[in-house]
């Protein structure tokens, strides 16, 4: 997680975007990861790589039905058993190997609780040093399992912000995008978790990659990347929800 100097004030455009997304989607993410079991969050963050969440849910259901959605129980599974249980998530051999690597990390720290209790910088470094875990997965674990502030960057965020004319640009790397959000928002873990959930929901249901449903989006008049550009496009004023 990038630790840069804090700005003198949050960026009003990002706060307005958050308010607009919350008005549109705030009631739809009551089941989001903040209320989930921390180990389930970690497993889900690994399994969701290169697949849809619907496929991950099927794999989690298989693990749950086999009473294997717990570190010790999962570690007892044979390689074939683990692969079969996570098969619905796709790339099941690689993902089983990634889960084994994560379980080894948990084992080195004595328990999942001890791992997640590490300081954020240390936890992120240990996660990134684990085979199969990149920045997005590590930050999912930080934000939703360890409940520490870390802004997650993914294709959904870059698509939405690109259309709104926000952020460092599509060519920028993960760290630059993360720095943009972390430097321009209050350092509030719950706000970041909610904001992330609403970005995902908006990109999945309205701001689609090929056929965005702009007519249903309250950001339409402010979106220079949409077919209908309104006055003040790209400048999100406070209270634009």
Q: What was the pLDDT predicted at 32?
A: 55
Report the predicted TM-score, pTM, of the whole model to 2 decimal places.
Answer: 0.86
Q: What was the pLDDT predicted at 225?
A: 75
Every domain of the chain and the residues it spans: 12-30+155-222, 33-145
With beta carbons less than 8 A apart as the criterion, state whether 165 and 225 touch: yes
CATH of 33-145, one of 2.40.70.10, 1.10.340.30, 3.40.50.620, 1.10.3720.10: 1.10.340.30
Q: What was the pLDDT predicted at 195?
A: 93
Domains 12-30+155-222 and 33-145 share a fold: no
The rounded distance, in Å, linking the Cα atoms of 131 and 138 is 11
Q: How many residues does the chain have?
A: 241
Which bin fits 67, alpha (ψ -120 to 50), beta or left (φ > 0)? Answer: left
With beta carbons less than 8 A apart as the criterion, state whether 161 and 203 touch: no
70 backbone dihedrals φ, ψ, rounded to 5°:
-160, 140
Q: At what angle do helices 38-47 and 92-109 cross, to 10 degrees?
A: 140
* pLDDT tens for each residue of 182-231: 999 999 999 999 999 999 999 999 999 989 999 899 898 888 877 655 43
The rounded distance, in Å, linking the Cα atoms of 26 and 208 is 19
**pLDDT profile of the chain (241 residues), mean per 10:** 48 89 76 74 96 94 97 97 98 98 98 97 98 97 95 95 91 95 93 92 91 90 69 38 31
CATH 1.10.1670 fits 12-30+155-222, yes or no: yes
The rounded distance, in Å, linking the Cα atoms of 187 and 177 is 16
Q: Which burial class, exposed, middle or buried, applies to 21 when counting CB atoms under 10 A from its CB (0-12, 13-18, 19+)?
A: buried
Tokens of 86: 């996570």
Q: What was the pLDDT predicted at 26?
A: 74
Query: Greatest CA span in the chain, whole angstroms?
Result: 60
Tokens of 32: 């989001």
- How far from 186 is each of 7, 131, 160, 165, 175, CA to CA, in Å? 9, 32, 20, 21, 18
């Amino acid at each position: 997680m990038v630790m840069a100097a804090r700005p003198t004030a949050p960026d009003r455009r990002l706060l307005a975007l958050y308010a607009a997304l919350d008005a549109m989607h705030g009631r739809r993410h009551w089941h989001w990861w903040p209320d989930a079991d921390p180990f389930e969050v970690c497993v889900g963050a690994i399994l969701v790589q290169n697949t849809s969440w619907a496929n991950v849910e099927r794999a989690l259901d298989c693990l749950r039905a086999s009473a294997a959605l717990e570190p010790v129980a999962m570690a007892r599974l044979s390689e074939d058993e683990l692969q079969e249980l996570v098969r619905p998530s796709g790339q099941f051999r690689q993902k089983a190997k990634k889960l084994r690597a994560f379980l080894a990390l948990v084992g080195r720290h004595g328990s999942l609780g001890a791992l997640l209790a590490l300081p954020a910088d240390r936890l992120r470094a240990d996660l990134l040093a684990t085979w199969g875990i990149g920045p997005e997965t590590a930050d999912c674990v930080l934000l939703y399992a360890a409940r520490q502030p870390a802004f997650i960057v993914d294709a959904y965020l870059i698509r939405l912000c690109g259309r709104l004319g926000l952020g460092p640009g599509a060519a920028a790397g993960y760290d630059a995008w993360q720095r943009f959000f972390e430097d321009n928002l209050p350092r509030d873990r719950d706000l970041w978790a909610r904001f992330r959930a609403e970005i995902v929901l908006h990109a999945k249901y309205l701001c689609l990659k090929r056929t965005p449903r702009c007519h249903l989006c309250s950001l339409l008049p402010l979106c220079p990347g949409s077919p209908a550009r309104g006055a003040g496009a790209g400048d999100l004023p406070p209270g634009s929800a």
